[in-house]
Structure 1
Amino acid sequence: MKFFYKILHYFQKRGFYVCQRIADRIGLRAKVVRTSFIYLTFVTVGFGFALYLFLAFWMRIKDMLYTKRTSVFDL
């Protein structure tokens, strides 16, 4: 378990340094850059799920409107 925490600490340290460098270049605080990456991740995942729900709804409505009608000759 200690090995896992060492790896986690290593990646957190290096990952936050990337955000710090981006923030320095743009002229913002690193905290703002980190939170914007987190929000952007939630938005992109949420957009895909919302698109899926919209398409499912649209297909359901289409199936309800354009039902296959039986022919007169099927009697």
Structure 2
Amino acid sequence: MNRLKDFIEWKVFGVCTYLGEKWGVATSTIRMYFIYLTFLTMGSPILFYLFFAFWMNIKQYIWSARRNPIKWL
């Protein structure tokens, strides 16, 4: 059960944590507003969340490939 909690905190909520660090806002506040907006707008922020999570993953992959060009060979 503890592994599931760690996975959810590090993988699923990575977007809210990233935005909180960038904007200097508490992560719990961003999560709370995200949940409220999701209920008020009937789920449309989930599309933003998924897009942003995909973008963060691609960005991390590109940066790691730039730092280690031999990895591509």
- TM-score (norm. length: structure 2): 0.45
Larger-Rg structure: 1
